[in-house]
Structure 1
Amino acid sequence: MDNQEVLADMPSNYEELRSSANRNANWRERLSAVEELGKWKNEKSIDILKHRLNTDAVHQVREAAYRSLLALGEDVQMPERHKGELMKDVTKVMVRIKKSLPRDHTFEDFKEKLKKMRIDIYDTYEGDKGEEFDQWLEQKWASLSKR
């Protein structure tokens, strides 16, 4: 976004960008939409960017919204990283998934089932943890109560 022209109109694909910015199970799509909306200085784009800044579970998306809003001249504060669980009842969900697998399942089995059953959780934590996601998830899996 550096040295980029800010446009005052509405993007021709505004509705698509609005939908993408609010797609819960795809942080990369939200990030891309936030970056694109950051090129357009208008009330609707700014509203969406502020919403992502204040509510997105993935820090990278909130940070991109912050940078976009700053570039558009908005008075905003840098978002803090969330501490603790990013989504409600994540541990309970993971325990249920672990218990649904055979006793001798592997971490990879658990990871695949989580991805299949709760892509929203998988995607949110993958986006927030970045390169540390697999290590975090494996530690979480190992710490879940056994049957």
Structure 2
Amino acid sequence: MSQETKPEVPANLSQLKKSINRAANWRERLDTVEELGQWKSRETIELLRYCMAGDAVFKIRKAAFRKLRDLGEDVSEPERSNDEPIKGTAKTLLRIKKSLPKDHSYEDFREKVKKMRIDLYDTYEGEKGEEFDQWLKESWNSIVLK
């Protein structure tokens, strides 16, 4: 255990549990993983394992892995999945595009995705990083309305 690691349970554990489940805020989840990694307790290790196994954003799974490894846990590095982080994304984007006027702009589409499905928007923003806007624009362009 490093000097920075504390053997107790953090006083704000219930808040950290809420933050780790905030689907619409990958940055908050990443910050939570960083904070959990400062504590070596059964509860914090369980939460980090939960993140490593199931978070939709790969960088969060990877950060949880690093924190668990730093805490001395025997864990295998997560692999990047080729699956969609959120099932049915293409259908969701199609429905959103259909709901807009025919002459809408990409910016209109992006804002409506953000407004209607912040969880989807945030997850893909976290997963795609700097390529997010290009990915969303390509997705918008590829949707052909009949």
Same fold (TM over 0.5): yes
1:4 Cα offset (Å): 5.6
CA distance in 2, matches of 1:92, 1:26: 22
CA distance in 2, matches of 1:50, 1:120: 21
Name the counterpart of 1:80: 79
Task: Tell me, yes or no, if structure 1 residue 130 matches structure 2 residue 129.
Answer: yes
Cα deviation, 1:24-60, whole Å, max 9, x if unaligned, reads 1111111111110011000010000000000001011
CA distance in 2, matches of 1:34, 1:120: 18
Task: State, as a whole percentage, how many aligned pairs show the same letter.
Answer: 55
Runs of 4+ in 1 over 4 A off after TM superposition: none
CA distance in 2, matches of 1:84, 1:53: 16
CA distance in 2, matches of 1:126, 1:82: 16
1:145 Cα offset (Å): 2.3
Unaligned runs of 5+ in 1: none
Amino acid at match of 1:64: A
Unaligned runs of 5+ in 2: none
1:15 Cα offset (Å): 0.8
Q: RMSD in angstroms over aligned alpha carbons? A: 1.1
Q: 1:103–1:61: structure 2 CA closer, same or farther, 3 Å change rule?
A: same
1:79 Cα offset (Å): 1.1
Partner of 1:12: helix, strand, or coil?
A: coil
Name the counterpart of 1:92: 91
CA distance in 1, matches of 2:5, 2:144: 52
Task: Tell me, yes or no, if structure 1 residue 121 matches structure 2 residue 99.
Answer: no
Aligned residues: 145
